[in-house]
Structure 1
Amino acid sequence: MPVVSLDSRSFGPTLGRPGILLIEWWAKWCSPCRIFGPVFEGMAERYPDITFARVEVNGQPDLVEVMGVQVLPTLMVFRDGFLLLNHVGVLPEPMVEDVIRQARALDMAEVRRKLAEYRASSARVRVGLHGV
């Protein structure tokens, strides 16, 4: 599957899709980005069931700000909309493969259960603080 380009209009809908999403934040002038680019493209070919996307930072300053990207390249890995990894710098291919393996192995039902527990306990704390 080819790498898709994301912009402010396509970012949200792409992030909202189920499955694994890898986003490379890059710029044409960035030397490390030119090193990582072929690795990223090769992984996209090898894993057609995963969405590989790029955001060219010079054209998307609002996305860069909202997502807190400060150094290039940055690789973000999401699964079902949950951010799993926010890595700054070039990653060698074996490490990207390991990240993909771990993202696939993640029990998303357990993640959702723990998130619900956290939100419930956080709400109880907020309610308790208002009574003080």
Structure 2
Amino acid sequence: MSTIDLTAQTFEQTVLDNDIVLVDFWASWCGPCRNFAPIYEEASTSNPDLVFASINTEEEQALSSAAQVTSIPTLMAFKKGQLVFRQAGALPASALDELIAAVRALDVEAASD
């Protein structure tokens, strides 16, 4: 599955309706965002059971503000509707793979106790 574009109208439902959702906040003028894009796209192809979403911070300024995104790229991971990871900065492919494995292995119910 390739990445999907999220908007303020589709963000919440996408996060709630899917087991694992990764969200990349980016902008077209951002060099690190452009460098991270092919890594993110490759991960989406390698993990078709997960939702890989992108939010253009220029087009979705209110959503970016509500998510408290202050630098880009920012990557967030949600599992069962809960934010379980948030980090600014582009990740190398190996770190993204490790993150995906960690999110898959995370027991959200045990972590919230």
TM over 0.5: yes
State which structure, 1 or 2, has the greater radius of gyration over its C-alpha atoms: 1
Q: How many residues align?
A: 113
Q: How many angstroms apart in 2 are the aligned matches of 1:75 and 1:108?
A: 18
* 1:53 match: secondary structure: strand
Greater share of helix = 1
**Which runs of structure 2 are paired with 1:96-111 in the superposition (5 Å)?**
96-111=96-111
Deviations 1:2-56 (A, max 9, x none): 1000001110100112311100000001000000000000000000000000000
Report which structure shows greater RCO (CA 8 Å, sep ≥6): 2
Tell me, yes or no, if structure 1 residue 25 matches structure 2 residue 25: yes
Q: Which runs of 5+ in 2 are unaligned?
A: none
Q: Which runs of 5+ in 1 are unaligned?
A: 115-132
- Among the aligned pairs, what percent are the same residue? 33
Q: Which runs of 4+ in 1 moved over 4 A?
A: none
Q: How many angstroms apart in 2 are the aligned matches of 1:109 and 1:76?
A: 19
Partner of 2:92: 92
Deviations 1:35-78 (A, max 9, x none): 00000000000000000000000011110111000101000011
RMSD of aligned alpha carbons: 0.9
